[in-house]
Every structure is written in structure tokens, then in C-alpha cells.
Amino acid sequence: MTGTTRSSSDLDKRRRKILFRCWHRGIREMDIVMGQFADRNIDKLTDDELDTLERILEVDDRDLIRWVTGEIDTPADFDTALFRAICAYERNP
């Protein structure tokens, strides 16, 4: 079970792949954070935002969860508007 409530049938191949990756992170908490954000926003993201999201998806979950929760500062090269939106969404779904 992925947890997703969104159908991917209306998405292009790239967005379907990203949506799947957001829901299959490895750490369940990150599945929920990234997956729920993607469910709500994947169809609205620009190509540049998709590039950024793909970069974020390459980050190890142990680091990513610490950035999202504010346990450690987000590195400057990942402190993007999209990442801040993911963090804000996590706190206010």
C-alpha cells in the first residue's frame, strides 16, 4: 500500500515516476511528507520545480528528515522555494 489517494492516470511519465518515488522513500515518515506533498502538487509543478524535486529525492532519508523537521539546517543548495513549500506543507497539510 502506498498511501497515495491520487490517481496518476492523468500524469505524464515523468510526473508518474516522481509521484511513485515520493511515496517509496524508505522511511515511512518521509513517504508521508513527500507523498502527500506530491499528491497535492505534482500536476502544478513547473519543469524547473520538477528538476528541484528530483534533486531532493536523491537525498538520503536520514538527512532529509532532519532538514524537514528543522533538527539541522538545510544546506544552502537545497534551501529552495520548493523545499520550503514541502516543509511548510508538512506542518500545515
Instruction: Convert the pLDDT of each residue in 18-45 to its tens digit.
Output: 999 999 998 999 999 999 999 999 999 9
Highest mean pLDDT among 6-20, 22-36, 50-64, 77-91: 50-64
Domain 13-91: top CATH class: mainly alpha
Q: pTM of the full predicted structure?
A: 0.86
Contacts of 59-62 with C-beta under 8 Å, sequence gap 24+, read 61/25, 61/26, 61/27, 61/30, 62/27
How many whole angstroms separate alpha carbon 67 and alpha carbon 19? 20
User: Cα dist. 42→14, 74, 75, 78 in Å?
Assistant: 10, 22, 24, 19
Q: What pLDDT, on the 0 to 100 scale, is given for residue 9?
A: 76
Task: Retrieve residue 62's grid coordinates.
Answer: 536520514
Report helix, strand or coil for 80: coil
Give domain limits for the chain.
13-91
pLDDT band at 67 (very low <50, low <70, confident <90, very high): very high
Question: Looking at the predicted structure, is the pLDDT value of residue 1 above 50?
Answer: no
